[in-house]
Amino acid sequence: MSSIATDLPVAGQQAAPARQPRIKLGRIAAHLALLFLVALWTFPTVGLLVSSIRDRDQLAISGWWTALTPSIRLNAARVGPASAQTQEGGNYVVKGNLFGADARGLSIEGFGATNADVRAHAAGSTIDNFNGGSLTVQSSGEYTLSSPAPLSYSGQPRVYFGVGSPPRFTLENYRDVLAAEGIGQSFINSLTVAIPSTVIPIMIAAFAAYALAWMRFPGRGFVVALVVGLLVVPLQMSLIPLLTLYNQIAHLFGGEAKGYVGVWLAHTAFGLPLAIYLLRNYMAGLPREIMESARIDGASHFKTFTTMVLPLSFPALASFAIFQFLWIWNDLLVALVFLGAQNDRVVLTGRLVNLLGTRGDHWELLTAGAFVSIIVPLTVFFALQRYFVRGLLAGSVK
């Protein structure tokens, strides 16, 4: 006779209490801390993006956090002369529009007779005793100055008012900064510097790291120690000797003193110690059985390196590529020393510095140029970020 298992409680037995999910305060605190850090890092980037697409007039008078609200700008205009008055319903009237012929959707939030009370009166209200009459200003800018007696003021009285304009967003800032300010050419110059300066040290360091990790030769430990020692050499200390050496070699072979070759070699020299250190530690941690199997099958070191080690080392290669590319893209000193300040070879960071000096009060151009400069680093990071932590930890722990 077969029996049927069931989860229903048997009569006379008490059901086991349901387990309540445990609330881990530590995990909640960690998530809140991460959320705070993400917001802290994202906040300036959002402000930069919003400022770069705002209208230049609105950006000059209000912060980016007010981008979705109407902007208030103080202004002044004169009413018509007394000679333009006409009679309407027994009163002498002067009419007109404070905006003139080009209102462009503007509206008056408030107005006043002096600059001390610009917004003392709301649009649609009336100021009595305004140069012998009563002044009424509508939000559209239309005004009426009326008096039962003939108006006899001299000149044209001034009216102060606050103008509200709807939020305006435009891409003209990017067009101006890419074309007129030379950011586009500097963007290409930075790519010309950054891409070879990232690829060259990776290629050299990969071969060197494999040799230091899996090939036996005298002095290998000393070479590894030397590479670690080079990590602490300051760039500023070796920059001028390296430039002098490069100029001597270039003069010997008839090459140009300021050029892309020099900056590629300089970035390669400064990036190689870190690249070799990371890649060597990562490759040394690969399973020894794989290497021994390849040798038993008759594979040479070059075959083993190209078909097995390089594919397995992609996380470490990607993490170093992010490091190297971001450092070169944001570099100004090395590029300025080896390329000079020639207008057709200025990199993006140098162009932004020049823009800050010549257009320091044009926030719309500065923010647009700054956002152009971070587009490529963000693209590179998000494309390779899944390998970043894995490759970095593997290279540092082993």
The pLDDT of residue 61 is above 80: no
> What's the rounded Cα separation, in Å, for the pair 2 and 171?
78
CB atoms closer than 10 angstroms to residue 18? 6
**So what's the pLDDT on residue 203?**
92
- CB neighbours of 150 closer than 8 A, spacing ≥ 6? 82, 85, 92
pLDDT of residue 394: 57
- Residue 384, pLDDT > 90, answer no
For tokens 């100021």, the residue is 127
Distance CA 376, CA 201 (A): 20
Whether 3 shows a pLDDT value over 70: the answer reads: no
Alpha helices in the chain (DSSP H): 25-52, 56-61, 172-175, 183-214, 220-230, 235-253, 260-284, 288-296, 301-304, 310-312, 314-329, 333-339, 348-358, 363-397
How is 53-72 classified by DSSP, letter by letter?
TB-HHHHHHS-GGGTTS-EE
Residue 393 banded pLDDT, cuts 50, 70, 90: low
Q: Average pLDDT of the chain?
A: 82
pLDDT in tens, 43-58: 888 888 898 888 887 8
Residue 80 · residue 96 · CB < 8 Å: yes
> Tell me: the pLDDT tens digits for 62-103?
788 888 887 777 788 888 888 888 888 888 898 888 887 766
pLDDT-derived band at 2, boundaries 50, 70, 90: very low
Tokens of 193: 């510097």
- Whether pLDDT at 31 is above 60: yes
Integer angstrom CA distances of residue 306 from 205, 247, 279, 302: 14, 36, 14, 6
Looking at residue 233, its pLDDT comes to 83
Q: pLDDT value at position 168?
A: 84
Q: Is the pTM of this model over 0.75?
A: no
Check if the beta carbon of residue 246 is closer than 8 Å to that of residue 266: yes
Place 208 in a pLDDT band, splitting at 50, 70 and 90: very high
Q: What is the mean pLDDT of residues 285-309?
A: 87
